[in-house]
Amino acid sequence: MSNVRKNTVLIVDDEQLVIQALTRILGDEYTIYVVKDGQDAIVKAEQLQPKVILLDIVMPGMDGYDVITALKSSEKTCNIPVIFISGLYDVDAEEKGLALGASDYIIKPFSPEVVRLRVRNQIMMINQMRLIIEKELVERSYHAKMEFLSCLSHEMLTPMNAVIGMTQIAKAEDNSPKTKECLTEISTSSQHLLKLIHDLLGIQN
């Protein structure tokens, strides 16, 4: 038995025959959830965070336009693709749905393969966008790290090199055995600390 989690599709429609048809078309490939009311659709979308929502337009209570308006105005659901599935074969209805934020529009009666392909396309686009975002985040993190290390390198190495340089000058100028002993200890400790700084910052000697 496969442990791979299926993508989730939320169907919002009040017609049982349509629900049965869509469940039959998509059920093998996706985990299907069904609601028949617009208000329930908004609550369920927030809870489930489905990959795609298939939304009817003509429903009792809240119609599909009201539902998608609510979905797109919420931070929790605004990025979920919504595909309208409607018997309204009307350019104005399609334009209105797309203007409200629908990702696609399918006319009833629908072709099973068209439904499958359009749902797959939406999920594929979501996954591609996620990869792009993740790549950008990795690149930003890398650049931020390099900028931090560059700044840290300057702030740590500049005074350390000054300590080492001044110690060498002092050793050359002062012939007192005790002073030379102290300066030698400072020099040795400074060199050790400098090596630790190089290791920390990944600097090759």
The tens digit of pLDDT for each residue in 83-116 reads 999 887 778 888 999 999 999 999 888 889 999 9
Share of residues in the chain with pLDDT > 90 (%): 44
Domain ranges across the chain: 8-110, 138-201
Q: What is the mean pLDDT of the chain?
A: 85
* Burial annotation 93-127 (CB, 10 A radius, 16+ → b, else e): bbebbeebebbbbbbeebeeeebeebbeebbeebe
DSSP 29: T
Q: Has residue 1 got a pLDDT over 50?
A: no
CATH architecture, range 8-110? 3-Layer(aba) Sandwich (3.40)
| Confidence class for position 203, pLDDT limits 50, 70, 90 | low
Write the pLDDT tens digit of every residue in 15-73.
999 999 999 999 999 999 999 999 999 999 999 999 999 999 988 889 999 999 999 99
**What does the pLDDT read at residue 20?**
94
